[in-house]
Each structure stands twice: as C-alpha cells, then as structure tokens.
Structure 1
Amino acid sequence: MDTLQLESAVQCLQPLCRGKMLQRVDEWPGGVVLHFRDEAVALLAHRAPLGLWRATRKEEQPPQSAFVKQLAQRLRGFRLEELSLPWADRIVRFDFSRTQLSKREDRLSLIAECFGGRGNIVLLDAEARIRLAWRWDSLEQARPRFLPGAVYTPANDPSGTNGGPLQCMAPSYRPWDEAGQAALAAALAQRPQGCQPWWRLRRAGAEILYPIVIPGWDVLAETPWERAIALPAGAPPKDLAYAAVLAQREAQQRKKLENIRADLARWEDPEQYRRMAHALFALPDAVHPGGPLHTQDYTVDPVQTIHIHVPAGKRLHQQAQWLMGQARRSERGRRQAQARLAAQSAEWERLQAFRTVWEQGNGDADPGRRGDRPLRSPGKAPGSSSAASASTPFGQMWLDGFELLWGRNAKENDRLTFRVANPWDLWFHVQDLPGSHVLLRRPQRNVPVPESVIHGAARVALQQSQCRAMSAEVDWTEAHHLQRRPGGGPGEVIYRHFHSRRVRRDDQA
C-alpha cells in the first residue's frame, strides 16, 4: 500500500474497531494480526502485501515468536481508542487504553512502519518510550532509533510534509505530464472522506485497486471497500527465504532422527549383557588369556552355549561386573534414546503437518502470481536469461527491448548479482544508500546500450531505493566488477570501476 491507499484503509477500519477490546494477537509472516470482537486487522510491515488489511478471523493459533507472545501479553485487556495515520509516510498508529480497578488509566500505542524489509512494529508507553520492538537497532549503527527506553521518532520529520498530494502516491502511479498532474490534484481535492468504493484499474496486465480515479487510466469498475482492503487470498505467499528455512528445519530434524536411531542400534539389549555376566559368574574366577570364551548359559531353558569375548589378562568375575554395568548403561541409554525419538518424531510430524497446511493454503495456482520463488528453474543454468525470466522472483520490466530485473530484499539482491547476472550485464544502484540491485540484461558483451536505456535503468534504481529525495546519484558498472563485501551480509557489494549519473524521479525513461 502507498500512503493514499493506507489512509483509506485506516478510515474504513477505525469505526469498525474503535472501542473494542483486543482479544488476541497472531503471528503472520511480515507482521501480526490483531483480533478484536467481530474484526481482525492484519498489520504487515515487512513483506508484501504491505500495509493495513482486513483479515479473516480463524481459529485461535498460539503465537510463535517471542515478540508476538510479549505483545499479546502486554496488550491483554486493552481497548482500541484511535487508529490513525499521523505522519506523512506509511506509519500507522494504534492507541490503546485500559482502566484499572483503582480507576487508573493505562495507555499504550502500537506503531507500525510499513516500509518493507526495513519496516518495524514497536510498542510505546504513555511517554512515547519504546517498550517492545520487532527489530531492535544496535549501538554501532549511525542513527539508531529502536533502542529500549528511547523516545520514538518517526523515520521522517512529521512536520516536513509530503511536498504536495503527488507524494501521497506510489511513484509508479503518478502521471508526470502537467495535464495529468492537474487532473490528479483535482481528483484528490474532490476525494470524499470515509469509506467509499475503490476503483479497479488494469495496467500492464495487473489489477490495481485504488481509492481514487487516476487520470489517464481506463476505469473498469467500482469495487466495495471491503474487498479492496481484504487481505489477498492465498497470503502468506510462498517465499524463497521462508521455504528455505522450512527445508533447513526438515533437514536438521531428519539428521536428528538418524542420529537417535543410530544410538538405539549402538545400545544392545541389556538382557544380553546380563546373560553373559551370569554365565561368567557361574565359572571359577580366573585370569583369561584373551579371546572368545565358550560357556553354558543356565538362565534359559534348555541350556544354550553362549560366546563371550574377554580381554587378555582380565579376571572372569571382573569382566562379569563390567558386563552388569554395561547392562545398566544400555538400559538407561535405550530409555533416553526412545524418549528422544518420540519427541523428535512428534516434531517431525508437526513440521510435515505445517508444510501440508502451508502448501494447501497457497493452492496450486500459477506460482508466479502467488509469489512462489523456486531456487532456480528446472533444467536451466543459474546465469541463463530464460532461467531468470521464465518464473523470475525479481521485479521485471522492459526498456526498448532490454530486460530490467531488480531484487526486492537483500537475499534477492545477492542472488540476482552473483547467481543470475552475466559478467557483461549492467548493474545499477543508488549511491551510498540502501536499495535494490537493478540488472540490465545484455544478450552479448558487444551489444551497445542506448543512453536513454541507461538513464531509464538508473531512474528505476532510484525508485527502488530507500532514497526519499526527488533526485540522486546512481552508480552503474558491469557485473564482473562486483565483489561481495568481506564479512558483509547478503547483497552487500564493493566495486571500484563504475560510472555515475544524477537522475530525477520525474525524468522520462
């Protein structure tokens, strides 16, 4: 959601949830779901679909992460007083209150910064001090904002407003010609407050629901606001990182089960040790020269011959005592291994049940539309063009016949740059600020790229960055000049040979 969509969602959800007590908090990939009486609100701050959504109420599921457990505990018994969008960017505020038996009133505020990978959810006390955060900052950061007990400050200055109504919209929605901007300003001025139907628009084959008519776009139909802000069906989507974590957990659990079964096989039957000990006790005590000893086992009927290995120089009764101790150790080891096997088998069944529910929840629809992100396309090399475009998890567009790809998070950036890119592809990134890696695909090394395409790719790199300015410097170079930063995280690179150009968001590609 951009700011305008989020504002409309806030206006629609506030009268539905105001004054209602928070019943429980459930975890959701990228955020949380707040359950009120007769309503559930999904607050997603980390991954698509970002923003504030009306969720479907489901049977109670215990929270999994420590953050969600603490959040549910601290907000227990509180009622929602106000749901607002007080700052210029996508920052939502929930104000809660609770009256004690002593008539003392407690107040807490829940802040959600819906910024994607760098978004956060924090709980504030009455003095606006941070008591709980989804993602804590470290003291080594240049400007840490999320520290225990620190006064919350928004990501941007609330007084430094958005510079006009155009800044309320996502850059890809804005018309850049003067006539379109004037028509958009008129549409924003006439936009009614409160819950109104949204407009279902289609652009480049994708369906977009927006609270106002965007000039220059064909209007298909009006859509009820309930459908417009409903959490999309099939969410949470299959995510590469999420699937990788699940596969890693399954591999770890499979290894644990193999180790436990190996322990069970290592510990022999304790009764076998006792039978050998009793057979040795029945013999006169003497020093054995070493090797196998064949004697009679009188503990079974009929009597059988038993074979016992006795070390050289060891007395028979001393070996019998060692065998009795080994029987006790084997009995204890088998008992512990069986308990571990039962616990880990139950954990394995839980993982398999979770995978089944997760896969069924995503359905068997087109994986490209649901966000399924396979590690690589079957039968394709990681660096091939068809492997990146047939079912690509990256952002994608075309400029004058050249394909542009960009990552949506650090792991996608790392994969795009070091696994998908050819050495002669052009790589773009906004200078000295976090953002997406943008890759301009070239079919061959000697294919020239027009200046207009380079300028358009640089503009995309600016739009897909965390830069809030209207213009910025963008670096670009060939992919073979890039190296991973030593000791850095995914997507952190260094490069020495590069070009720079300054681009504006409103430049024409």
Structure 2
Amino acid sequence: MFRGGTGGSQIDSYVMLGLMDTLQLESAVQCLQPLCRGKMLQRVDEWPGGVVLHFRDEAVALLAHRAPLGLWRATRKEEQPPQSAFVKQLAQRLRGFRLEELSLPWADRIVRFDFSRTQLSKREDRLSLIAECFGGRGNIVLLDAEARIRLAWRWDSLEQARPRFLPGAVYTPANDPSGTNGGPLQCMAPSYRPWDEAGQAALAAALAQRPQGCQPWWRLRRAGAEILYPIVIPGWDVLAETPWERAIALPAGAPPKDLAYAAVLAQREAQQRKKLENIRADLARWEDPEQYRRMAHALFALPDAVHPGGPLHTQDYTVDPVQTIHIHVPAGKRLHQQAQWLMGQARRSERGRRQAQARLAAQSAEWERLQAFRTVWEQGNGDADPGRRGDRPLRSPGKAPGSSSAASASTPFGQMWLDGFELLWGRNAKENDRLTFRVANPWDLWFHVQDLPGSHVLLRRPQRNVPVPESVIHGAARVALQQSQCRAMSAEVDWTEAHHLQRRPGGGPGEVIYRHFHSRRVRRDDQA
C-alpha cells in the first residue's frame, strides 16, 4: 500500500498499487471476519489477479497475483461479469458452504478461509480456501478436510525442483509457518521497517499496546511518501486517523484493463459466435416445409402403386399454372406411403425451423448484450480518472439491469405457486439440467419421481432457515408425479436439498445422482 506523492494528495487504497504486508492483512482479517463469519457464500466473481467472494450483504476481494495485493472489502454487485474456468469450478465446489473462520495462520502473507456445510444426514463437509498474496508467484488453492489440494489457480509442473501445487498433494506453505526469527520486522514490508534499535524497540512497544479487534488505520508520511497503516510506525509523520472501512475498501466500478480479464471476455464471444454459426447451419439444413407438402399432394393425386424406384415426374396442381414436379421415391415403396412420409417430414421441418429461429433470436440477443458489455467495460477502463468509473456501472452480458434471479418472468420452465412458494420444473432434459445446476440455490428443495424418467421439480426457498409446510412438500411431490412418465395412480417421489445433487459421470443432460434424500408416496388425485 505505497504511493509516492505530495502531502496534499488524496489517499486512495486502489491507487496505491502495492501490496498488503502481514500486519495490514491481519488488521483486514480482524475487520472482515465479524462481517462475514457464519454467512453463506452466494457467488464468486472474477477479478484480475484474484477473486471476489460474495456473502450476504458483504463482498470480499482476495487478490493474490496482481496489485493491489491483499484482502479488500468490495462492493456487492447484482450483475456478474464473465467467469474463467477456475472461478466457475470454485463457485461450484463452494456451493452451499458457510464461512466458519477467516484467519492468517502463518507468518507470511497467506490468508485462509475455512468453510463448512451440513448435510441432511448431519454430516459436516469442510473446505479451506488458501490465498498466497505473493504477487507473480502467488496462488489461490482449495483444500479438502485433509488439507489436500483439490483446485488451484495455477498448477506446478512435475519438472520443477520442488513442486507444491499438484492435484491431491498435501498443501505446505511457501515459508516456515512457525518461523518468527525476524520478530515484528518479519510482519512488515521492508520499506516500512525501522532499522535502528530505538525504532525497533518503539515498534515492539506499539505492537504490544495495540488493542485487539478492528481499529482505525493511520495516514502516515515519510520523505514525500504516504501510506495507510494499522499502527503508527516510528520515524513516520502522523497525518490523520482513517476509518478502517476506507482503508481496506476496494473501489466500485469496472476492474482495471487486464489481459486475463479480456481473455475471458474474448472466450465468451468466441463461444457465442460458434453457437450462432451452429444455429444458422441447423436453419439451413431444414428445407421449406411447403416443398414437402407440394410433393405429398402430388403423390396423393396419383393412384396408389408400388414404385420401381428413382425420380417420378408428375404434375403439381397446387400452383397456378400447373407445373411439373420431380419426386424421388425409394424402390419398393408405395406412392401414398411416401406421401405420408413427406407430410411427416414437412411437420418435422416446420418444427425444426421454428425452434432454430427461436434459438437464433435468443442467442442473437445474448450476442448484443455481450457486445454492450464489452463497450461499457472498455469505456469504463479507458477513463484517465479511476474515480469516474463508478458513474458507469458494469452490466452483465447474461442479465438485464434490475434482474434478481435467473428464473424471472420470462423463464422457460413450468411454473406455479403453492401457499406462497414458487415451483419450477423442466420440460426436457436440457431444461432439467439447467434448472438443477444453474438456477437452483443450494437450499432449494428438489423433487423427482423414484426410478422413472420425469421432470426435475424445484421448490424455491428465500433462505435456508425458512420452514416449508408439509402440505407444500406434499403438493410439490404430487407435481413431480404428474410431470413424470409414470402412468400409475401413485408412486414414490424422492426429495432433497439441491446441493446434494451431482451430475451422473458420463451421463446425459439432466441425469443426476444423490445419496441423501427423503421419499414420500403420493397419489395423482391427492388434494393435500
């Protein structure tokens, strides 16, 4: 957190493109832990050199690879920027977890987030997120309960002399976790340290007298340089006391222009272009359904007979003037049988073109939103004054401003309400997969008829601690039976919380596995 300048210039933690040392990180941890402890992780966002963790009413920026390094209090945003593969996997694995502890367990700049999740069977799942805020050699890793690495921002190569970040390897910190040979000096950035004995004694006294908990920071100056620091450093002039909220605040607005961030956006654009090309190819593959109907009517006008095969030349009486039409009929097939097949092909072509045009319109709108997102982002990053970036909020390519959830009024899912609770269900395998793994919150209840194909039914809950009446659970189970391929009057319906679901390995869209669930037998004609 260092910037050279004059004493009259305004201090802004974002403009100080430096790093947090261990003392600054420790103070940030003490301030952020009471705000986030016990809250569920709701979302993980991309940020250059790190991630932003969204909890209820709070957001924490964890920057380990690029300046400004450290732990920052970010501004919560409803819109979500494009995500990298690492951030998507991290968000999926931490789905449904609550923050138990935020700590600085080792001497150097290593921050630890401990998460836990309680299953329906009362089993506790535990994961830890470790951030080594070292800059170019920094990393962010996800550990399981046995401290084994399950996910990493960057992986080491086996050819390295001492690889630490390997899948399944036990995590070891970069420096000696028990090493305190440097005393208080070890916790400070070298440019801040007093090197004379008197200064070191005064620093030790200041650290010993520092109260526990979240405290204001200090604006200090020495030799034309200004910093924000949690204690008064001997040899520095005290300018003013600064509230901790301002000292560790990450400014709102667009992130700085960054090659990695731009690569994520370019990847999204390439994927969207590929989708549009595929849809246009599907649209071109379906012929005009009227052409099939004209050939069918021409065959129906002829006497039914077995055709020897090859092209058939006959008159088309559906147009004026009458024209000759050429129809290919397979050998051994009756003319009226081929006409029936052509009428079916016309219906398939009409349905295929209608679906392709709907997909093309939706994906074209998505492409326009993506281009609007790039325009706003580039304009926001092109400003010379970073303080003005907040005037132009960054919009997500996937959501319109003001959108509160993925399941909005324009949702493609089936929908109904039961005593104030919203029920959603998919109409096909792809909708089932999207509903379960992209729309559902971890605490939502999921229903499916037992051992038979059917729709995934989702009972939305605003929060985990909101109780659901038995009548609502029974009604949701009955909807799951009605939206299944079961033809019996009654059947067993399984239900569980959405975070217990996993995609079936090697399975198709909508195929899931789950081990923790309840079952309920319902009838189609039940009223309660």
TM-score by length of 1: 0.54
Q: CA deviation at 1:191?
A: 4.2
Greater mean deviation of Cα atoms: 178-187 or 24-33: 178-187
Q: CA deviation at 1:155?
A: 0.9
Q: CA deviation at 1:211?
A: 1.7
Deviation readout 1:17-60 (Å, 9 max, x if unpaired): 34445555455444334444544333232333322122333448
Residue in 2 aligned with 1:396?
A: 415
- Match of 1:386, SS state, is coil
In structure 2, the CA distance between the partners of 1:70 and 1:291, relative to structure 1 (3 Å rule), is closer
In structure 2, the CA distance between the partners of 1:447 and 1:358, relative to structure 1 (3 Å rule), is closer
In structure 2, the CA distance between the partners of 1:61 and 1:437, relative to structure 1 (3 Å rule), is closer
- Match of 1:448, SS state, is coil
Q: CA deviation at 1:345?
A: 1.6
Answer whether contact 2:79 2:399 (CA < 8 A) is retained: no
Greater mean deviation of Cα atoms: 175-184 or 396-405: 396-405
Q: CA deviation at 1:85?
A: 0.9
Answer whether contact 1:482 1:494 (CA < 8 A) is retained: yes
Q: CA deviation at 1:248?
A: 5.4
Deviation readout 1:391-433 (Å, 9 max, x if unpaired): 9999999999999999999999999999999999999999999
Answer whether contact 1:296 1:306 (CA < 8 A) is retained: yes
Deviation readout 1:47-86 (Å, 9 max, x if unpaired): 3332212233344859955655554555556554432211
**In 2, Cα distance between the equivalents of 1:322 and 1:393?**
32
Deviation readout 1:333-374 (Å, 9 max, x if unpaired): 856753653453243134235435645765845369989999
Answer whether contact 1:20 1:37 (CA < 8 A) is retained: yes
Residue in 2 aligned with 1:159?
A: 178
Q: CA deviation at 1:283?
A: 12
In structure 2, the CA distance between the partners of 1:49 and 1:158, relative to structure 1 (3 Å rule), is same
**In 1, Cα distance between the equivalents of 2:169 and 2:268?**
36
Deviation readout 1:202-229 (Å, 9 max, x if unpaired): 6898863222334555443211011111
Greater mean deviation of Cα atoms: 99-108 or 487-496: 487-496
Of 431, 448, 451, 1:429 maps to: 448
Deviation readout 1:112-131 (Å, 9 max, x if unpaired): 22223433333333332334
Deviation readout 1:81-124 (Å, 9 max, x if unpaired): 43221111111123345566776655443322222343333333
Residue in 2 aligned with 1:308?
A: 327
Answer whether contact 2:502 2:513 (CA < 8 A) is retained: yes
Deviation readout 1:153-201 (Å, 9 max, x if unpaired): 1011112336243332333444667776676566555544432221234
In structure 2, the CA distance between the partners of 1:8 and 1:419, relative to structure 1 (3 Å rule), is closer
Answer whether contact 1:373 1:392 (CA < 8 A) is retained: no
**In 2, Cα distance between the equivalents of 1:450 and 1:279?**
62
In structure 2, the CA distance between the partners of 1:330 and 1:414, relative to structure 1 (3 Å rule), is closer
Q: CA deviation at 1:320?
A: 13
In structure 2, the CA distance between the partners of 1:202 and 1:467, relative to structure 1 (3 Å rule), is farther
What is the RMSD computed on CA atoms of the aligned residues? 26.1
Greater mean deviation of Cα atoms: 480-489 or 368-377: 480-489
Asked if residue 33 in structure 1 is aligned to residue 52 in structure 2, the reply is yes
Q: CA deviation at 1:138?
A: 3.9
Greater mean deviation of Cα atoms: 222-231 or 64-73: 64-73
Deviation readout 1:2-23 (Å, 9 max, x if unpaired): 2221111112223333444555
TM-score by length of 2: 0.53
Answer whether contact 2:442 2:498 (CA < 8 A) is retained: yes
- Match of 2:405, SS state, is helix
Greater mean deviation of Cα atoms: 457-466 or 47-56: 457-466
In structure 2, the CA distance between the partners of 1:33 and 1:319, relative to structure 1 (3 Å rule), is closer
Sequence identity (%): 100
Answer whether contact 2:80 2:395 (CA < 8 A) is retained: no
Answer whether contact 1:240 1:375 (CA < 8 A) is retained: no
Greater mean deviation of Cα atoms: 127-136 or 44-53: 127-136
Greater mean deviation of Cα atoms: 279-288 or 238-247: 279-288
- Match of 1:389, SS state, is coil
Answer whether contact 2:95 2:442 (CA < 8 A) is retained: no
**In 2, Cα distance between the equivalents of 1:126 and 1:257?**
43
Answer whether contact 2:78 2:404 (CA < 8 A) is retained: no
Greater mean deviation of Cα atoms: 231-240 or 169-178: 169-178
Greater mean deviation of Cα atoms: 494-503 or 289-298: 494-503
Answer whether contact 1:80 1:94 (CA < 8 A) is retained: yes
In structure 2, the CA distance between the partners of 1:399 and 1:80, relative to structure 1 (3 Å rule), is closer
Aligned runs of 1:351-390 on 2, under 5 Å? Answer: 351-355=370-374, 358=377, 364-366=383-385
Asked if residue 411 in structure 1 is aligned to residue 430 in structure 2, the reply is yes
Residue in 2 aligned with 1:506?
A: 525
